[in-house]
Structure 1
Amino acid sequence: MKKILFSLLTIIFFLQNANASSPQVPDYIIFKGDTIPVYNLLVEKYFDNIKKSDNGELFGLKFREGSTTFCWRGYQAVYEIDNDSLFVKHIIYCGELFDGNEIDVIESNKRLRDFFKNKVRNNRVLVDWYSGDLNLPKENLLRWDGVFHKSFEKEISIEIKAGEITNISLIENYIDDPNRINRRYKDTISKVLFNELYKLNWNNKKDFDCSEKYIVTIGKNGEVSDVIMSEYQTKEEIKEFWDRNEYNYCLKAVRKGLRDLKFDILKINGKPVEERYYVEIWVEEDGKLEEWTEY
């Protein structure tokens, strides 16, 4: 008799590419008297803009080789909003602000001059190479990619054009609808999906076995928008490992079992996003799913 195991691993849609696999410290921004973590790497964008190689070192601070695991870059930037403009105010070594320590302003100013040269004015640099949004945490962590990027239920969105502040607004990244399924905590969604699939009788006249790994996508509207088999993507793979009728039957069964679910809307930077989940099921001979297990 087959044992049943159901597992689901969240894949965060807005996972960013990173040079390290361990959690990384953010930069900071001084805004209305508060020093707030910020998850936008604006100094790196300047580096991209001038098309200059880092050569493994910036601001006299080496990184990658010999750098700490929590700060792959080897430095942190501190920004400041002043007179409706965004500036780089300090370049500090990793963790310099930990435990309430003060910034070594002399060393910071030296790093600014050495790198930005004549762009330095009054010991700071206008971020004139950046146009876009800068979002600051306001309320409750919503999603984290496990390395750097974090999204919050409410954020302060600062619109910037060539370093000048054009608008500041409050955005909400989570729509709490009492008639929909709570989506705040990604590790609870697996149980919801299992409960829906548990209702199905997996017995069928042709004795198809749908024990397999699937990828379930919750779309931007909070509904299941797609289900695919995770290991068989190409027509050649499907033809080699599956009977076409069995393959179509199983996908249809999973899609049908999840189609009525409606989750709360999740957003990143105020825009709805989708999330994907791995779902692995084994079906018993009686067509039922056993006790739910997650790993």
Structure 2
Amino acid sequence: MNKLIFLYSLILLSFLQSTSYGTPQFPDYLIYQEDTFAIHCNPLESYFEGKERPEFEFLSTACWRGYIAFWEIIDDKLYLIKLENELGDQLDLSFFPDWSYNDIIHADWVSYSILAPYGKKLNYDYNSYSTVCEYEKEFFFKEGVVLEVKDYDNSKSKRSKYTTQLKLLYQFFDENIDYNNINLAVFDSVSKIKIYVRVTDVSEEGKVKEVEILRGADSLINLEAIRVLKSIPEWDVIYQRGKAIPPNYVYPILFKKQ
């Protein structure tokens, strides 16, 4: 991997990746074969399960957990090599039994996979570690020992103009709703009806296959909303771990009194 390109990708991921908190979170980092990846999980949190969690001082909402952990795979084993705050100050690991300064910790509690995205950002999910990049590595561990490393190519992902330019999407809704399919009596007491929908399945060609009504109205309006969405010429096709995944965006559709 080109180290300069990788460095810029790493800095970008630092600010764009996020957890369920409202502010994008600084990720942990994993060193593997001289490359450093921003990863999509925080393995130290699973160590704290069932234990009293140390009180790390957080300096901003961009790092609610109060630390940034650096991990490295050495001789096919996962180690915690250092802990820092957002300013780069090193934190001690005294919550580990028998720890002494500069010790590294074998992460033998890790028996799951860790995803490491890199390359061009293809799809940004603000609220979780779900941002999709052009390539990914997935490291599979059992008791902190590497079982397998998989490489994924997500480069077939493509974005739709209707999701990247929402003005076009809402214009499409306005121009393609057929009010002949609706019982107009629903507008006797209101001038507009807004429902919320989510596309849950898309073909590899970008055709909408399934739509979920999250907050609907009567059955005819719901059916018309589904029909209109399925008629959109192109939709996002996003790959993660090398496979197409359903989008997770929610959109309002506005029906107006005619």
Q: Same fold (TM over 0.5)?
A: yes
| Shift in CA distance, 260/270, structure 1 to aligned 2, threshold 3 Å | same
Runs of 4+ with >6 A deviation: 119-122
3-state DSSP class of the match of 1:43?
A: helix
Q: CA deviation at 1:271?
A: 4.6
Q: Is there any run of 5+ residues in structure 2 with no aligned partner, and where? A: 1-16
The structure 2 residue matched to 1:225, chosen from 207, 210, 215, is 210
Name the structure 1 match of 2:118. 138
User: Secondary structure of 2:62's partner?
Assistant: coil
Q: CA deviation at 1:249?
A: 1.1
Q: Quick one: distance in 2 between partners of 1:115 and 1:78?
A: 16
Please tell me whether the aligned partners of residues 225 and 253 of structure 2 are also in contact (alpha carbons under 8 angstroms).
no
The aligned amino acid for 2:51 is K
CA 228–140 in structure 1, closer or farther in 2 if over 3 Å, else same: same
1:82-122 superposed Cα distances (whole Å, 9 cap, x missing partner): 111111010112230xxxxxx75xxx5xx22x111247898
Counterpart in the other structure of 1:54: 53
Kept in 2: contact 1:143–1:152 (CA 8 A)? yes
Q: Is 2:92 the counterpart of 1:116? A: no
Q: Corresponding residue for 1:248? A: 219
TM-aligned CA deviation for residue 44 of structure 1: 0.2
Whose Rg is larger?
1
Going from structure 1 to structure 2, the CA distance change for 1:191 and 1:120 (only over 3 Å counts) comes to farther
Name 1:71's counterpart in structure 2. 63
User: Relative to structure 2, which stretch is displaced further, 200-209 or 20-29?
Assistant: 200-209
Cα shift at 1:142 = 2.8
For the pair 1:171 / 2:152, whether they are aligned, the reply is yes
Q: How does 1:187-202 map to 2 (within 5 A)?
A: 187-188=164-165, 191-192=168-169, 194-195=171-172, 198-202=175-179
Contact 1:24 1:147 in 2 (8 A): no
Q: Contact (CA 8 Å) 1:142, 1:184: kept in 2 or not?
A: no
Which segments of 5 or more consecutive residues in structure 1 lack a partner in the other structure? 1-14, 97-102, 233-241, 286-295
Distance 2:101 2:171 in 1: 59
Measured after TM superposition, the shift of residue 250 of structure 1 is: 0.9
1:154 equivalent in structure 2: 135
- 8 Å CA contact 2:182, 2:221 repeated in 1: no
Could you list the per-position Cα deviations for residues 262-292 of structure 1 after superposition, in whole angstroms to 9, with x for gaps in the alignment? 535323444543223222314252xxxxxxx
SS in 1 for 2:211: strand
Higher relative contact order (CA 8 A, sep 6+): 1
1:258 correspondence with 2:257: no
Q: What is the TM-score when the length of structure 1 is the normalising length?
A: 0.65
- Cross-structure match for 1:277: 250
Q: How many residues align?
A: 231
Question: What is residue 129 of structure 1 aligned with on the other side?
Answer: 109
Cα shift at 1:171:
1.0
Choose which of 198, 201, 208 in structure 2 pairs with 1:216: 198
- Relative to structure 1, the CA distance from residue 185 to residue 269 in structure 2 (aligned partners, 3 Å threshold; closer, same or farther) is farther
**Overall identity of the aligned pairs, in %:** 22
Q: CA RMSD in A?
A: 3.3
Residue type of the partner of 1:212?
K
Structure 2 counterpart SS, 1:281: strand
Scaled by the length of structure 2, what TM-score is found? 0.74
